Amino acid sequence: MIPQEIIRRKRDGETLAADEIAAFIRAMSEDRISEGQVAAFAMAVFFRGMSRDETIALTLAMRDSGDVLSWGDIARPIADKHSTGGVGDNVSLMLAPIVAACGLAVPMISGRGLGHTGGTLDKLEAIPGYSIMPEETLFRRTVDEVGCAIIGQTADLAPADRRLYAIRDVTATVESVPLITASILSKKLAAGLQTLVMDVKVGNGAFMNSLADAEILARSLVDVANGAGVKTSALITDMNQPLADAAGNALEIVNCVDFLRGDKAGTRLETVVLAFAAEMLVQSGTAGSLSDGEQAARSALESGRAADVFGRMVHALGGPSDFLERSQDYLPAAPVQFAVPAVRDGYLARYDTRALGMAVVELGGGRRRAADAIDHRVGLNGLMPLGTEIAKGEPIAFVHAANEKDAVRIVADVAQFFTIEDDAPAQASPVLKRIG
């Protein structure tokens, strides 16, 4: 394998064979090709694209660059879900215990925050003692005995993705559908899944702003994952407003606990969580239809079985045994909380959702650089859904900050991220389309 020949052929729009792609990724993993050559390959793919078969080959090569987990000793279906990221998107925290309570096994490999979007791992680290990087024995035991475990990517899972992504990040080649697809799926396939559901976000708080672009990515993910042997579907969901009524790490854990206690019934968040639960249960053969799957998920939620699974998962991975009962005692709280007043009477008509996510980063709840520490206390809550009627001066959000100076500054900023109009906006389901 001559790296520059593979780069040249892809640069010229030729189709690469699976063994060529595998050899290139293997050489990259073993540091036998330079960063310049990897960057040139990424740029060639960025401009020339890849066929479905090429993207499958790339995904499998990256998956096979490290360990591939096997769950043959667990009788339950092995399932997972992945989101492309948004603001107030804490679906995974509730979804995993709900479907685990319905009989699935969920070894969920999650990530940290990226840009304006929150990260599941950052949220879970707000829980004292919770280990996002447990030993494999503990990870397996938790999945087997509890039904789910949400952890981070180990160094042995898809290591080729880490090198390729780091180079893409500094060479303006992140926004390539084949490279995004292979990056996401290589890690998921390395987790040994049988079924997978993708949550592809679209809107002003998502990485995909248009429905057409979201459909292209969703179709690529579904086609490639199924081609690689994992039964996969995708739901395209709306991210033109925060999904939960909170954005920030500890605040979203509070939201999760409230949800599992039944305090978020009737919300957009509940609609999305139950839609994904139904999809996972049907894919795995546990439910015969989406309506049956949603009914089973709702039963697990309303009976308290899902909350029990979440509490046992937290404890199994090092957190407090009574976390569900005393979560407010364990979670860190910001010392300063200021209301954001509405500037006029009317209806909440639009959010600048990405700006709200960046406000959390400004407060210290996200990272400007990979090495930055996170302040788990800070963020926003009390966020109202679009269409809410409000009066001038009424709180439309609350800023949780480390100090008064930050709070005053962010309150002034956040007030500009809401648009209030005389007429209520049209309401639509947050689940926009299914790709299967």
Active site residue ranges: 80-83, 120, 168, 183, 187-188
Phi/psi-derived region of residue 186, left when phi > 0, alpha when psi is between -120 and 50, beta in every other case: alpha
Q: Are 314 and 130 in contact (CB under 8 A)?
A: yes
Query: To which H or E segment does residue 98 belong?
Result: helix 91-101
3-state secondary structure of 348: strand
Token digits for 110? 């999650």
- 155: β partners: none
The residues, any chain, with a CB within 8 Å of residue 340's CB and separated by 6 or more, are 395, 396, 397, 398, 399, 411, 414, 415, 418
In 45-185, the DSSP E strands lie at 79-83, 106-110, 148-152
CA angle at residue 276 from 272 to 278, to 5 degrees? 115
Which residue in 292, 271, 307 sits closest to 148, CA to CA? 307
Burial class (CB in 10 A: 0-12, 13-18, 19+), 291: exposed
Task: Report the C-alpha gap between 260 and 179 in whole angstroms.
Answer: 36
Other beta carbons within 10 Å of 319: 18
Task: Report the C-alpha gap between 409 and 81 in whole angstroms.
Answer: 37
**Which amino acid appears at position 27 of this protein?**
A
Other beta carbons within 10 Å of 12: 9
Crossing angle of helices 211-227 and 52-63, in 10° steps, is 60
Q: Are 314 and 330 in contact (CB under 8 A)?
A: no
Strands 395-401, 336-341: parallel, antiparallel or unpaired by DSSP? antiparallel
Token digits for 280? 């996972």
DSSP character at residue 372: P
Task: Report the C-alpha gap between 278 and 183 in whole angstroms.
Answer: 26
Crossing angle of helices 305-316 and 249-260, in 10° steps, is 140
